[in-house]
Structure 1
Amino acid sequence: MTQQIQTAPPSSVRPGLPHVELTGFEPSLDEDERAVQQAMHQFAREVMRPAGSALDKLSAEEVVAPDSPYWQFLKTVAASGIEFDAMAEDVPPAALARLQAIAVEELGWGDAGLAVSLGAGAFPRMMAARSGNQELVGLCEGRLGCWIGTQPDRGSDGLSLYPAERHAAAPQGNKGNLTARVSGGEIVINGQSSAWVSNGPVAQVGLVTIAADYGEGFFDSEGHPRGVEVVVPLDLPGVSRGRPLEKLGKRALPQGEVFFDDVKVPARFALALGDEYWRGHASTWSSAGVAMGQIMTGLARASFEHALEYCHERRQGGALLADHQLVQYRLGGMARKVETMRAVSRRATDYTFLSPSKHPYYTAGSKVTCTDLAFEVADEALQLFGGNGLTREYPVEKLFRDARAARIEDGENHLLSMKFGYLTSLLHRAARTRP
């Protein structure tokens, strides 16, 4: 009697490899989405990565010098027709939100610092367009922008929307170092921003978010600062700049102080004035947080892809790194985090574009999730490279530094997580008192 040898079933009966897109495990893109993604990916690979790498090696002063690769990068962007804030009237809002998320992720994949520079550059025009103020749209057209919302003595606490959030020992909120007085159809601005204003050294127009006195002082009856959000041309008399900031990460992004000495702008340049200030500020902040999640998803994906490629080249213990089970486990963890970031950033994008009543504290929570996970992925990528990861010969060292910066910019992550928790408490209390 002969023994039957069990043979493996034909390969045709086994599941094939799953469908994946450039960005991973997601449903198929439609023709327009794939065209946008491929175009942005090519731009990110051929233009952004070389420019970002070159700028990373320069001093902050050299980055903004007339012969810097930064200016050639901006010229290439302008010639390509790429717009961070592209808005098409014939595209449904849901489709537009998805297209933006796809496109901005590719920018972050190319270079996070340059992606933030493009986002900040478009920010004043984008918020002017959303307000419907065509005069301000025209004022911002063709000008590199920035968002001036952070100050030396009023950083993340400037993001407190509710009086109950301030510390119990504080009799009133913090008006900060940069303030405005509004009177007779004119806004007069004095003080300085912090050194962390993205595009601060080079911007031509700024969206300025600051405390304001309308004739009754800077604080309301609850001790909360009044405010104004206003578009300011930065070539006006009284505007000056500090030195560009030397920093750990995102060195391709120029950042620095902006000073205001009795700078006068007409009140019609305001996007959010008087009682509308807090709602306007909340809308602005929501938009910024959404972009940060998209950009950092791209950075995390880049870190994972570099690590995956390296693990299929580097041998250790007589085998490729990719063949070691522990390495496979680590790569699986990185891939899960990238997929999580994409899901969270896309959800935050949809919420901000489509919700009838969006809220920046939810967006803040998504920003925390994406930037924390991006840092974890970049850190693991560097670890998989071993000693090579610490050298500038390989790209993960820069990605690690760029990822670290994102946990502080646009609001420090612990504070933002606390605000999301505060929002959940407000929702709980509202539900309990609802009839």
Structure 2
Amino acid sequence: MTGLYQLGEEHEELRAAIRALVDKEIAPHAAAVDEDARFPEEARKALVAADMHAVHIPEFYGGQGADAVAACIVIEEVARACASSSLIPAVNKLGTVPLLLSASEELKSQVLPGIAKGEMASYALSEREAGSDTASMRTRARLDGDHWVLNGTKAWITNAGESTWYTVMAVTDPNAAKPANGISAFVVHKDDPGFSVGPKERKLGIKGSPTREIHFEDCTIPADRIVGEPGTGLKTALATLDHTRPTIGAQAVGIAQGALEASIAYVKERKQFGKAIAEFQGLQFMLADMGMKVEAARHLVYAAAAKAERGDPGAGFTASAAKTFASDTAMQVTTDAVQLFGGAGYTRDFPVERMMRDAKITQIYEGTNQIQRVVMARQLLKG
């Protein structure tokens, strides 16, 4: 009954390859990346050298052409060791899916080959006063001859300052009957006049991945850098999230898996009352629950990724479910991991406190888990 319900051989080979790369090139630097809050340059170099930094880019543009489940496996395996580093493949996908869905062939050919070779992309939707309420954004773009001129500020931009390209949502028709229909998507290059990045946010976790504001002051870009038709930007942004929320689920699964593995190793070594604490049933039950939830989350993430790739009508619900369940699982599993380590878990000498801090953001970005539940409820009630 081979193949009845399992990943293909190529997916398992990919997992083995990325895991070997991560253990050798990324894991040894994870603690220092967090401690120094520095960009994981070693991870970027290793991922680019192995063509693992943006596996989803189609072969036509020089990429690997990997499917959505493969992209999740890469992100999961990197996050198992270093959540900050996993944002390189994750946000490269987030920044480029709007182009893959909606951009002209010319624009795709202008941007995607560079990403395939190692450039990075970021995604700019949120603003300080427009987080969950994206339609209330204030960044504006106006057509001036053969250029668009952008003004405004975007917030919480992952990998800002490291990326070459930024997919930016801006209001092009402030008088649109529905604000959502007045928003367009653009691609901005880091060297475009009037574009600048702000200072790094001081964060609880994922400290190796810079998060910054980006500023547009009469930022001028060629007219053909619009993604799709004017007024379709928010539609593209929301369609993108069906494809990328599972990648945040994958990141969460990876963080949880890393914490579970660290916990298993620790409880086998740590002795109290004359025996390894792994022999105590209370702790065994904690481990069993941790393992059960990680396994459930993993399957939901892969199912959601596959549904989005197929264009399944239920993809929106499953993407939100996968992101929510996996991130809630990551928070619970990493918190339990710190508990299993006892006092040692609360120190920076062991990785689980970092994993717990890193896990928290997965419940917040790409739509808070409260917003995900709104999305899921709406889908259920629509029938």
What's the CA shift for 1:74? 1.9
User: 1:113 pairs with 45, 62, 84, which one?
Assistant: 84
Q: How far did residue 46 of structure 1 move?
A: 1.6
CA offset at residue 367 of structure 1? Answer: 1.0
> Following the alignment from structure 1 to structure 2, what is the Cα–Cα distance between the partners of residues 261 and 273?
23
Determine the C-alpha separation between the residues in 2 that align with 1:305 and 1:389: 14
Among 260, 280, 300, the residue aligned to 2:216: 260
Q: CA deviation at 1:30?
A: 4.4
Which residue identity does 2:131 align to in structure 1?
Answer: G
> Which stretch shifts more, 221-230 or 254-263?
221-230
> AA paired with 2:219?
V
Pick closer, same or farther for the CA change 1:255–1:326 going to 2, 3 Å.
same
**Aligned partners of 1:353, 1:135: CA distance in 2, in Å?**
23
Instruction: Work out whether residues 227 and 278 of structure 1, in 8 Å CA contact, stay in contact via their aligned partners in 2.
Output: yes
Partner residue in 2 for 1:207: 167
Note if contact 2:76-2:252 (Cα within 8 Å) is conserved in structure 1.
yes
Over 3 Å counting, the alpha-carbon distance change for 1:121 and 1:152 in structure 2 is same
- TM-score, reference length from structure 2: 0.89
Q: 1:31 to 1:264 in 2, by over 3 A?
A: same
Once the two structures are superposed, residues 241-289 of structure 1 have per-residue CA deviations (whole angstroms, 9 ceiling, x without a partner) of 1111111100111111110011122332222333533431222222221
Separation of aligned partners in 2, 1:193 and 1:223? 18
Could you list the runs of 5+ residues in structure 2 that have no partner in the other structure? none
Q: Is the 8 A contact 1:121 1:199 kept in 2?
A: no
Larger CA Rg, structure 1 vs 2: 1
Matched residues in 1 for 2:220 and 2:107: separation? 16
Q: CA deviation at 1:184?
A: 4.8
Structure with the larger helix share: 2
**Distance of aligned partners of 1:359 and 1:346 in 2 relative to their CA distance in 1, 3 Å threshold:** closer
Say if 2:300 is the partner of 1:340.
no
In structure 2, the residue matched to 1:226 is: 182
The answer to whether residue 53 in structure 2 is matched with residue 77 in structure 1 is no
CA distance in 1 between partners of 2:67 and 2:244 (Å) = 17
Superposed displacement of residue 371, structure 1: 0.5
Shift of 1:186: 3.4
Instruction: Select which of 387, 390, 393 maps to 2:343.
Output: 387
User: Aligned-pair distance for 1:332?
Assistant: 0.7
Greater Cα offset, 222-231 or 128-137:
128-137
Give the whole-Å Cα distance in 1 for the aligned partners of 2:59 and 2:314. Answer: 21
Aligned-residue sequence identity (percent) comes to: 24
Displacement after TM superposition at 1:88 (Å)? 5.8
Q: Which amino acid aligns with 2:152?
A: G
SS, match of residue 365 in structure 2: coil
1:181 aligns with 2:151: no
Counterparts of 1:52 and 1:211, CA distance in 2: 39
CA distance in 2, matches of 1:257, 1:298: 27
- SS of alignment partner, residue 84 of structure 1: coil
Tell me which residue corresponds to 1:156. Answer: 132
Contact 1:282 1:360 in 2 (8 A): no
**Which blocks of at least 5 consecutive residues in structure 1 are unaligned?**
1-25, 65-69, 159-172, 429-435
2:157 aligned partner: 197
1:372 to 328, 340, 358: 328
Distance 2:247 2:328 in 1: 15
- Does the C-alpha gap of structure 1 residues 416 and 185 become closer, same or farther in structure 2, counting only changes over 3 Å? farther
State the TM-score, normalizing by the size of structure 1.
0.79
Q: 1:201 offset after TM fit, Å?
A: 2.3
Amino acid at match of 2:160: G
